[in-house]
Amino acid sequence: MTSEYANPDILVDGEWLESHLDDPNIRIVDCDMFDSYQRAHIKGAVGIKVHHYIKHPKYPDSPTDYPWVAEPDVAKQLFQDMGIGDETTVVSYDSNGSLWAARFWWVLNYYGHSNAKVLNGGWKKWFSEGRLISIEPPESVEVTFNPRVNTDLICTLDYGKSKISNKDTIFLDVRSDGEWEGTNSRGNRKSGRVPGAIHLEWTNFITRDSHHTIKTSDELHEILQSAGVTPEKEIITY
């Protein structure tokens, strides 16, 4: 754990995680693609065979998989198969600046599971520190996961549209520069951005070194404040 952050309990470092590798109530989740997980992963980690981005049943012809969160019954089975129950402490990580690990953390919170953390620096920092890795999957465990949807974490399309041009609401666009500029559609039917949005690509929030850890609370505050993203406003991210 570290005191450099406003909510330090959300992040763990390698030293903390290594000391808890044998804790039966902790499930480590490798959020990279499954073939990467199979090549090597943190000792005791479980991989994601069916990624947490799946096609929404109402939109089977969507050109992309990533926008949708699994339906509650699907999420329940996925999490249980991974050994994540209602009482499990979950630590997620990836090799891409915690982009996917943070998303997995969010999905767990969306389904009411707040006992979730992200490994700061992820796989790259863990590996560079010479900590324990494996090619073996963890032992399966019998658990029960009861999804409890927290709708407060979702901005619906209608709600978002109603907030455009609202002086008390800020749309924060954290996509890549290409998506913001409209030069990279990523397979979407249209390119563009929400009118009046502020753009800060998500990579601004992680360090530029090889470990890609989350920047400190003071650094994040300065970045957001300079861009006009202030705490008295309602912030809608996308």
CATH of residue 178: 3.40.250.10
Is 142 found in the same domain as 164?
no
114-141 confidence digits (pLDDT tens)? 999 999 999 999 999 999 999 999 999 9
Which one has a higher pLDDT value, 68 or 52?
Answer: 68
Query: How does the average pLDDT of the chain come out, rounded?
Result: 91
Is 225 found in the same domain as 136?
no
Is 78 found in the same domain as 19?
yes
pLDDT, residue 64, reads 47
Residue 188 belongs to a domain: yes
Is 180 found in the same domain as 130?
no
- Give how many domains the chain has, as a whole number: 2
Residue 2 belongs to a domain: no
Residue 230 belongs to a domain: yes
Tell me the percentage of the chain whose pLDDT exceeds 90: 83
pLDDT above 70 (res 202)? yes
pLDDT, residue 167, reads 96
Is 123 found in the same domain as 22?
yes
Of 116, 150, 184, which marks where a domain is finished? 150
Confidence category of residue 197, pLDDT binned at 50, 70, 90: very high
**Residue range of the domain that includes 169:** 155-237
Is 126 found in the same domain as 24?
yes
Q: What is the mean pLDDT of residues 101-115?
A: 95
Biggest alpha carbon–alpha carbon distance for the chain: 53
Helices H, strands E: what count in the chain? 8, 10
Q: How many residues does the chain have?
A: 238
**Cα–Cα distance between 14 and 194 in angstroms, integer?**
38
Is 145 found in the same domain as 161?
no
Residue 1 belongs to a domain: no
pLDDT above 60 (res 210)? yes
Tell me the percentage of the chain whose pLDDT exceeds 70: 91
Please provide the DSSP assignment of 54-99 as one string: ---TT-TT-S-STT-BPPHHHHHHHHHHTT--TT-EEEEE-SSTTH
DSSP structural state of residue 216: P
pLDDT above 50 (res 66)? no
Is the pTM above the cut of 0.85?
A: yes
Is 229 found in the same domain as 201?
yes
Is 108 found in the same domain as 83?
yes
